[in-house]
Chain A
Amino acid sequence: MKKMDLLTRTKTELLKVAHRLGLRGISTLNKPELAARIRRAQQARSVKTMRPSLGVAVAAHKLTNDLKRRAIRKRAKAAAARARAARKSVSPARKIKAVVKSPKTAAVLGTDQAPVATSAAVKELSAHKFDVAPTPAARKQVFIEDNLGDLPEAYGTGRLFLVARDPHWLFAYWDLSWQQMADDRGQAVDGRLVLRVFEKNHAEPVQELTLQHDSRNWYIHVGKAATTYSAQLGYWRQGGGFNVIGQSREATTPAAAVSPDTTARFVTIPLDFSFRELTNMLKGHVRDGERLADALHRLELAGFSFPFKVEVALGPWTAEQAAALERLLGGDLWRRIRMGSFEISEWLRRRLLEELGSGTVRPRND
């Protein structure tokens, strides 16, 4: 019985089921709590006996008969549609997939029991969920109750995404279905897709990467901080010419050193005037594309009258001062400690597990 089925029932109906299950102390519970108790009782029984007891089965059956039939009809329709789609598919790989899928469909359709998980989901559950679950059965149930399926391998938007991961690496992914990629490869002179990386204001690509068949993303070592790049996904046509499938936006690698530019512009931005108020004060004086702090700075320097006290410079700044501060901040001081709480607690957990493993912390009487 699925959670949402329980929740569509009235509280009185749920109370009846709870009584049949022999649950106690239920009169003060609200509906969701009651539903949760019923589910737990059912799970506990099915875990104990491997099969629901007759009483549970009857209760569950009575409660959800209609809903279940409807759900099964729906699923059958969807499965039929999927099967049709699979038959239409021309690619051999798709056909193989359809064959792999069919046992799952059968598992769902072939029984009047509560829906069982697909094989992929069960595998995933057994591999991933049980180790932290309060109870394996309960964990499994959550995953099943929505019957959400799995994420698609791609959406086929054709998007090429590019981001600078750090000063030296770009990361790209492309959202193409297997079919789209196969079709594109079929058009290519060498049967390969190509990722081209351009530095801004350079006509020729700085890198041209031939991609592996099944790859959908790539880490690109550019090794150049504070530089703007873009990327193209495409292939070389028979008879020459590059065909572009996807064009990324620009991505700029972060700086990895202090800026050589030591000009300093100061601006007064009083906290008690909102950005909206400040923007209104500047109306009619802001140049095209000029941003708030820049405009304030220019106008403060020009002696524009503001309803607050303005400072445009902050005392002397000598080479000696700059050198002294540089010494303080020099080296790799700001690279050393960078740990968040999750990082530390995860590190602790790992260390604890290691210690447990090595026997230095030994649980007694286990």
Chain B
Amino acid sequence: MPQGYVALILHAHLPFVRHPEYEEFLEEDWLYEAITETYIPIIRVMEGLVRDGVDFRLTMSMTPPLCSMLLDPLLQDRYVKHISRLIELTGKEIERTKQDQAFHDLAWFYHNRFKEARATFCDGYGRNLVGAFRKFQELGKLEIITCGATHGFLPLMREHPQSIRAQIMIARDHYRQCFGCDPRGIWLPECAYEPGIEDFLQEAEIRWFTMDTHGIMFGHPRPRYGIYAPVYTPAGVAAFGRDLESSKQVWSAEEGYPGDYEYRDFYRDVGFDLDFEYIKPYIHPDGIRCFTGVKYYKITGRTVHKQPYNRGRALEKAASHAGNFMFNREKQVEHLYGVMRREPLIISPYDAELYGHWWFEGPEFLDYFMRKVAYDQHVFKLTTPSEYLRMFPTQQIVTPSASSWGNKGYWEVWLEGSNAWIYPHLHVAAERMTELVRHFHRADPLGQRALRQAARELLLAQSSDWAFIMKTGTTVPYAVKRTKDHLLRFTRLYEQIKSGHIDESWLASVEWRDNIFPDLNYQHYA
């Protein structure tokens, strides 16, 4: 019998960015980069584990905006174009680096890697990566959970509970379409919780959610086992708190793994390094240099004189870090078991996009870790929160404390000088949405279309990413624009629906652009 359990949770999310009105759009690259560097590598890792008969468990939240983008034919087409261009570029790079063995090998490495990515995307899964993840859920290895419909910051909707409800119910509906079953778990957007949110989860038959450490630790009454066992909220929905020791080990700036000198350097990219005329076809059409994903150097050290990346050595490092991570979890579990006299659960939630995109060797680290756990130790087992609850259905009743995983742990990141202006507008729009649904419960087909679109615009405006970027980002104007555009489109729809004069051609153009949730059920706002 194992003495404890470890659950890795990867939160995969990107805001809904899709601009059919442009041939190329800078912010859409967030998706393409994540597909090549994170989602496909994780899929490949799981393929390998299944092929080799390794028993593993992994949990991933896949948010509705991300699933919607992954399922969108336009973005799928554009991804194929994107990856094909990279294949073309690395083909030229093979030629260009002929005289320099280290770079020549790397050019081949990227060339093959991109070709593999395209093959996985196109031939392996017929462009449907949602289906790829679903396959591993159906094999019982991966637990996929949901999130808010558009990653809305739920506690800041408290004035209008229908909005919280709609974020959850529309996410559940979408999950059913994507994965053919009900979600058992949810990653609350930004891990933002306040007492009362569990009632909506109960209604959606969602059995558990994750929180930051202090949300559990400051719960009432005091949680006996701290963050090493879930608690039941009074509604019966379980809350799992994040273990900071394992987070720190991976991500701390000083002690974290990704800063190892053998790992690939994130900053040096041929998009910036190479001759402008040469690289021009592979950066943005207006000549803005940007990352291409072709990066030849390793971190090397605190120096500007970077050395070429050595893939073999980097993978050795990833394997040794995986061994170290496993060893530390063994010690942690043994110690906790000694104290608690019951099997502790270590919850390690991370952002999925950190693996691969930022920490290039992250997916391989996961691969090695899951293999080692299966074969090299007997102290703990990997599990998922649902599996754990099935094994251990008896837990303490605690009301967790309001908290988020943002800086300082509460709402400050999403409610401060740069972004507080959005809330009066979001709140009025939320109220108006319910007013519309209640008043026009017998809308004709055109009215129904307008109501659905109004809900889409409200949902897209509510995405917590915009407030977040306003606070921290370099793409602030884009976040401001998105917030305003969706609110203004909502307002226009509201006015048209109320006045009974719906501009069908304009509605069609808005439907064409903001096409998330084609089957949206606006009755969730009633």
Q: A261-B220, A264-B224 are in contact. Are A293 and B233 (CB under 8 A)?
A: yes
One of A259, A263, A268, A356 near B219 (C-beta < 8 A): A259
**B-contacting residues, A280-320, CB 8 Å:** 291-294, 296-297, 308, 310-312, 314-317
Inter-chain contact B428/A155, CB cutoff 8 Å? yes
One of B232, B286, B357, B409 near A335 (C-beta < 8 A): B409
**B-contacting residues, A131-185, CB 8 Å:** 131-135, 138, 142-143, 145-146, 148-151, 154-155, 157, 159, 161, 163-167, 169, 171, 173, 175
* Chain A 59-78 interface 0/1 with B at a Cβ cutoff of 8 Å (1 = within): 00000000000000000000
| Residues of B with C-beta under 8 A to A3 | 21, 509
One of B202, B213, B275, B405 near A275 (C-beta < 8 A): B202
* Chain A 330-360 interface 0/1 with B at a Cβ cutoff of 8 Å (1 = within): 0001111111111111111111110110001
One of A138, A255, A264, A342 near B465 (C-beta < 8 A): A342
Tell me if A271 counts as interface (CB < 8 A to partner B).
Answer: yes
Inter-chain contact B284/A36, CB cutoff 8 Å? no
State A292–B125 Cα separation when bound (angstroms): 42
Tell me if A81 counts as interface (CB < 8 A to partner B).
Answer: no
State A291–B203 Cα separation when bound (angstroms): 13
Inter-chain contact B424/A154, CB cutoff 8 Å? yes
* Chain B 274-305 interface 0/1 with A at a Cβ cutoff of 8 Å (1 = within): 11100000001110110000000000000010
Inter-chain contact A276/B205, CB cutoff 8 Å? yes
One of A161, A217, A342 near B427 (C-beta < 8 A): A161
State A131–B266 Cα separation when bound (angstroms): 22
Tell me if A214 counts as interface (CB < 8 A to partner B).
Answer: no
Inter-chain contact A364/B401, CB cutoff 8 Å? no
Q: A167-B410, A255-B218, A342-B469 are in contact. Are A315 and B342 (CB under 8 A)?
A: yes
| Residues of A with C-beta under 8 A to B21 | 3, 36, 39, 142, 145
State A69–B480 Cα separation when bound (angstroms): 32
| Residues of A with C-beta under 8 A to B274 | 364-365
- Size category, B interface: 35 or more
| Residues of B with C-beta under 8 A to A249 | 158-159
Tell me if B46 counts as interface (CB < 8 A to partner A).
Answer: no
State A49–B266 Cα separation when bound (angstroms): 40
One of A173, A265, A321, A363 near B272 (C-beta < 8 A): A363
| Residues of B with C-beta under 8 A to A317 | 224
| Residues of A with C-beta under 8 A to B275 | 364-365
State A142–B27 Cα separation when bound (angstroms): 15
Tell me if A361 counts as interface (CB < 8 A to partner B).
Answer: yes
Q: A128-B476, A258-B222 are in contact. Are A293 and B232 (CB under 8 A)?
A: yes
Q: A163-B156, A264-B224, A336-B248 are in contact. Are A325 and B339 (CB under 8 A)?
A: yes
Tell me if B91 counts as interface (CB < 8 A to partner A).
Answer: no
* Chain A 267-280 interface 0/1 with B at a Cβ cutoff of 8 Å (1 = within): 11111101110100
Inter-chain contact A329/B407, CB cutoff 8 Å? no
**A-contacting residues, B400-446, CB 8 Å:** 401-403, 405-412, 415, 420, 423-425, 427-428
**A-contacting residues, B367-411, CB 8 Å:** 386, 389-390, 393-397, 401-403, 405-411
Inter-chain contact B267/A355, CB cutoff 8 Å? yes
Which residue of chain B lies nearest to A142 when distances are taken between CB atoms in the complex? B21
Tell me if B207 counts as interface (CB < 8 A to partner A).
Answer: yes
State A262–B403 Cα separation when bound (angstroms): 21
* Chain B 475-495 interface 0/1 with A at a Cβ cutoff of 8 Å (1 = within): 111101100110111001000
Inter-chain contact B221/A264, CB cutoff 8 Å? yes
> How near does chain A come to B491, taking the closest CB pair, in angstroms?
8
| Residues of A with C-beta under 8 A to B155 | 163
Q: Write the residues of chain B forming the contact surface with A, with a CB cutoff of 8 angstroms.
A: 11, 19-27, 155-156, 158-159, 184, 190, 194, 202, 205, 207, 212-214, 217-222, 224-228, 232-236, 238, 244-245, 247-248, 251-252, 266-268, 272-276, 284-286, 288-289, 304, 335-336, 339-342, 351-354, 357-358, 386, 389-390, 393-397, 401-403, 405-412, 415, 420, 423-425, 427-428, 465, 468-469, 472-478, 480-481, 484-485, 487-489, 492, 505-506, 508-510, 512
* CB-based closest 9 A-B pairs: A128-B477, A341-B351, A334-B213, A166-B410, A148-B488, A261-B221, A254-B402, A291-B234, A255-B218
Q: Write the residues of chain A forming the contact surface with B, with a CB cutoff of 8 angstroms.
A: 3-4, 7-8, 32, 36, 39-40, 127-129, 131-135, 138, 142-143, 145-146, 148-151, 154-155, 157, 159, 161, 163-167, 169, 171, 173, 175, 216-217, 249, 252, 254-272, 274-276, 278, 291-294, 296-297, 308, 310-312, 314-317, 321-322, 324-325, 328-329, 333-353, 355-356, 360-361, 363-366
Would you mind naming 15 contact pairs between A and B with Cβ atoms under 8 Å apart? A132-B474, A134-B24, A135-B286, A142-B19, A145-B21, A166-B412, A167-B410, A259-B221, A297-B397, A325-B225, A334-B227, A334-B244, A337-B244, A338-B407, A338-B408
